[in-house]
Amino acid sequence: MKNTMPETGGFFSRDRNQHPPALTPGYKTTVLRSPQRALIALDGTRSEITGPVFGHGLLNEFDNDLIVNYAKPGESAIGQRILVHGRVLDERGRGVDGALVEFWQANAGGRYRHKKETYLAALDPNFGGVGRTITDEDGRYQFKTVKPGAYPWPNGVNDWRPAHIHFSVFGHGFAQRLITQMYFEGDPMIWLCPIVKTIPDEAAIRQLIAPLDMNQAIPMDMRAYKFDIVLRGRRSTLFANRMEGN
């Protein structure tokens, strides 16, 4: 437990030039989603700046292990076993403790466990594709999973999503959750994705690509990828649900 008071001052401004235009016809759903009026920026209230706070009482034993958290006893998910780790940081590069990090993904074949899923790849009976964890006092998090597969989606005639993991972050200073995606270093499909192509700043795209981190790999078990999430400010990670800044 910390005795330090929460910071209640103003936040650093965010560089919105990193964000894709609201209307990007190459990503078809933006035609209907894009706002028709100018965006409005509102100052954060004291309650938004100082909360919410989550505790480990929210977690189950294997919430941060997608390899086994949906599997039958003695079994595990199919696919390349990986460890994903990183830090949740504020605009000054300081770790944010007590942030609830949720993650969800397709299985190793590129299929989600969703009743409206139409991709023909097989479901893995031992993989649910969802989990969560809470950052420690230095803002660190980690979870085990299998590397997701790419999958087609009905945007263009032959558009595919590169392998990716979705992240949702709740923590200090939020009026709502922030959502982003993590891609994998060396995947050529990143640069073909219509969603990625909407981002005008290559540096912002590269912030979404997790490098291979063999220093954290578990020998004879799993490779590791490192993905830091910056919540606010000029170096902020690109969040899909807060294009106007956060």
Does residue 10 belong to any structural domain of this protein? no
Is position 97 within any domain? yes
Which residues participate in catalysis according to the annotation?
Answer: 112, 151, 161, 164, 166
Share above pLDDT 90 across residues of the chain, in percent, rounded to a whole number = 61
pLDDT of residue 206: 96
For residue 91, what are its two tokens?
A: 């605009």
Q: pLDDT for 25-59, tens place per residue?
A: 888 888 888 888 887 777 766 666 666 667 777 89
Whether 185 contacts 225, CB under 8 Å? yes
Please state, in angstroms and as integers, the Cα–Cα distance from residue 208 to each residue in 73, 130, 147, 169, following that order: 34, 19, 16, 15
Check residue 218 and report its DSSP letter: B
Q: Does the residue 235 lie in any domain?
A: no
Give 182's pLDDT tier (boundaries 50, 70, 90). very high
What pLDDT score was predicted for residue 16?
65
Report if residue 103 sits inside a domain: yes
Coil, strand, or helix at residue 158? coil
Q: What's the CATH number where 207 sits?
A: 2.60.130.10
| Calpha distance 109→223 (Å, rounded) | 18
More confident: 73 or 8:
73
State the amino acid at position 31 in one-letter form: V
**Residue 5 belongs to a domain:** no
- Structural domains of the chain, count: 1
Domain residue limits at 43: 16-230
Residues 6+ apart with CB under 8 A from 19: 199, 200, 204, 238, 243, 244
Pairs from 21-28 (Cβ < 8 Å, separation ≥ 24): 21/198, 21/200, 22/243, 24/197, 24/198, 26/156, 26/194, 26/197, 26/198, 27/155, 27/194, 27/195, 27/197, 27/198, 28/155, 28/156
Peptide bond into 52 cis (omega under 30): yes
Please indicate, yes or no, if residue 246 is contained in any of the structural domains: no
In the numeric block, which tokens belong to residue 168?
Answer: 């949702």
Q: Is residue 41 part of a domain?
A: yes
Find all residues with CB under 8 Å of 219, minimum gap 6, and list them. Answer: none
Q: Has residue 174 got a pLDDT over 80?
A: no
Residue 68 buriedness (CB in 10 A; 0-12 / 13-18 / 19+) = middle
Question: Is 54 contained in some domain?
Answer: yes
